[in-house]
């Protein structure tokens, strides 16, 4: 179910849809298809995502015991009553309605991909099928980043922290995120990627406070075996009441770690919230969002990064005016008042058929001047904020502070002439004007 639009988003002429009035993927209208099935008294068969290998796609690393020639597509109605299915996703700034039939790939009567612990629960497999249709095939779901799925499933705002350079109050940020029912995920290049359901608890260990993090490994039963794991003797140092609440010796993929170990073992954390309001701790201060759909076109608006001194100025330029904060917002818990997100979209259906460009953005202070800035404006001018580096992620973001005034945001790809559409989003707890 799509979340409410809590971040006071201001739509423009290119952004008029919503969770309650989404676009139709591949022009398939659920109501029309449903009525046709009722009229013809037949179960729906999706011709645009058929029950064959074209929908499964090509995997490079399937286990040898998986014989794709043995796949049989079955409906949940074989086991339980089923119906038509429609699911809404958020993709590249737009809400889209995805219609699927309920035929699922099986081998030997077992679901080939996502399955539930209970035999009559099929919504995870149907959700997976709808997302596979959005991305092109089941194979196109293979690998990727937690942040992309969190954003596609919720339409939320994405914040990203590299753990070895994270702010000192990260545990407090995670605690606030958990209280606001925000989704979080963490990952590492050296250990299995895991989701993070909550920041855990602060416990007293021999009268010393310890910040603990509760994690879930969604891939199986593998767990952390170090300090504060299920079998750790450190649990004997906390009171019995806390042990009863927190300590379970179960091989279920859930485990505890200290915040110190968490930031050492894992490399990054993604936080996907409906709105950054939770960071301020003030019910009187509400963030707003502005969004613009743009495009890098070779030869006109794809000028490369800032070191391309002769062409950088040809990139799209966005003027931002930031007003004074009101008293309630100015007294917030964190100094940051701006979050800028840049997302690239190559507009191909199959997710794995395209490579991302290295992308980023630069923010410059400016005066009240009209017109487009030429190359002279950027000569020897240092940005007041920028992405840490230009990277090949689908989306990059930066959370920072800007004083009231006027600024110029320039999104770019690393190389000259790289063509793609993009979505630039600005979230602010100031009143902000974007042109």
Active site residues: 217
CB proximity list for 10: less than 8 A, separation 6 or greater: 288, 289, 290
**β-strand partners of 391:** 359
CA pair distance 230, 349, nearest whole angstrom: 44
Q: What is the 3-state secondary structure (H, E, C) of the chain?
A: CCCCCCCCEECCCCCCCECCECEEHHHCCHHHHHHHHHHHCCCCCCCCCCCCHHHHCCCCCCCCCCCHHHCEEECHHHCCCCCCEEEEEEECCEEEEEEECCCEEEECCEECCCCCCCCCCCHHHHHHHHHHHHHCCCHHHCCCCHHHHHHHHHCCEEEEEEHHHCCCCHHHHHHHHHHCCCEEEEECCCCCCEEEEEEEEEEEECCEEEEEEEEECCCCCCCCCCCCCCCCHHHHHCCHHHHHHHCCCCCCCEEEEEHHHHHHHCCEEEEEECCHHHHCCCCCCCCEEEEEEEEECCCCCCCCCCCCCCCHHHCCCEEEEECCCCHHHHCCCCCCCEEEEEEEECCCCCHHHCCCCCEEEEEEEECCCCCCCCHHHHCCCCCCEECCCCECCCEEEEEECCCCEEEEEEEEECCCCCCEEEEEEEEECCCEEEC
Residue appearing with tokens 């559409």? 421
User: Order of strands, edge to edge, in the sheet holding 110-111?
Assistant: 72-74, 104-107, 110-111
Distances (CA, A) of 377 to 100, 117, 310, 389, 410: 52, 60, 11, 22, 12
Single out the residue of 433, 146, 153 nearest to residue 274, CA to CA.
Answer: 153
């Amino acid at each position: 179910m799509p979340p409410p639009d809590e971040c006071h988003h201001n739509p423009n002429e290119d952004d008029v849809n919503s969770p309650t009035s989404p676009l139709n993927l591949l022009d398939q209208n659920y109501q029309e298809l449903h009525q046709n099935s009722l009229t013809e008294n037949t179960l729906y068969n999706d011709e645009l995502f058929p029950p064959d290998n074209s929908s499964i796609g090509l995997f490079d690393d399937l286990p040898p015991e998986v014989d794709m020639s043995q796949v049989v597509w079955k409906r949940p109605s074989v086991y339980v009553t089923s119906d038509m299915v429609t699911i809404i996703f958020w993709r590249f700034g737009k809400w889209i309605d995805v219609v699927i039939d309920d035929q699922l790939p099986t081998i030997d009567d077992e679901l080939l991909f996502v399955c539930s612990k209970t035999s009559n629960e099929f919504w995870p497999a149907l959700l997976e099928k709808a997302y596979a249709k959005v991305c092109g095939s089941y194979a196109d779901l293979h690998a990727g980043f937690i942040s992309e799925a969190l954003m596609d499933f919720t339409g939320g705002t994405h914040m990203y922290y590299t753990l070895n350079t994270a702010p000192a109050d990260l545990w407090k940020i995670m605690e606030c995120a958990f209280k606001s029912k925000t989704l979080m995920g963490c990952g590492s290049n050296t250990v299995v990627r895991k989701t993070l359901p909550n920041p855990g608890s602060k416990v007293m260990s021999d009268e010393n406070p310890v910040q603990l993090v509760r994690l879930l490994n969604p891939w199986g039963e593998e767990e952390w075996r170090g300090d504060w794991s299920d079998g750790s003797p450190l649990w004997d140092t906390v009171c019995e009441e806390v042990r009863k609440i927190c300590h379970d010796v179960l091989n279920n993929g859930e485990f505890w770690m200290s915040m110190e170990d968490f930031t050492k073992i894992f490399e990054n954390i993604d936080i996907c919230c409906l709105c950054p309001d939770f960071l301020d701790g003030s019910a009187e201060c509400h963030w707003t969002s502005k969004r613009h759909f743009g495009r890098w076109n070779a030869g006109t608006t794809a000028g490369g990064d800032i070191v391309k001194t002769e062409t950088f100025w040809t990139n799209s330029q966005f003027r931002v005016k930031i007003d004074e904060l009101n008293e309630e917002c100015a007294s917030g818990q964190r100094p940051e008042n701006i979050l800028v997100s840049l997302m690239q979209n190559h507009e191909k259906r199959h997710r794995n058929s395209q490579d991302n460009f290295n992308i980023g953005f630069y923010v410059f202070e400016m005066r009240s001047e009209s017109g487009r800035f030429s190359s002279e404006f950027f000569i020897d001018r240092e940005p007041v904020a920028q992405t840490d580096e230009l990277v090949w992620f689908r989306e990059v973001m930066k959370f920072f502070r800007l004083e009231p005034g006027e600024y110029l945001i320039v999104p770019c790809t690393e190389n000259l002439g790289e063509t793609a559409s993009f979505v630039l989003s600005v979230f602010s707890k100031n009143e902000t004007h974007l042109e």
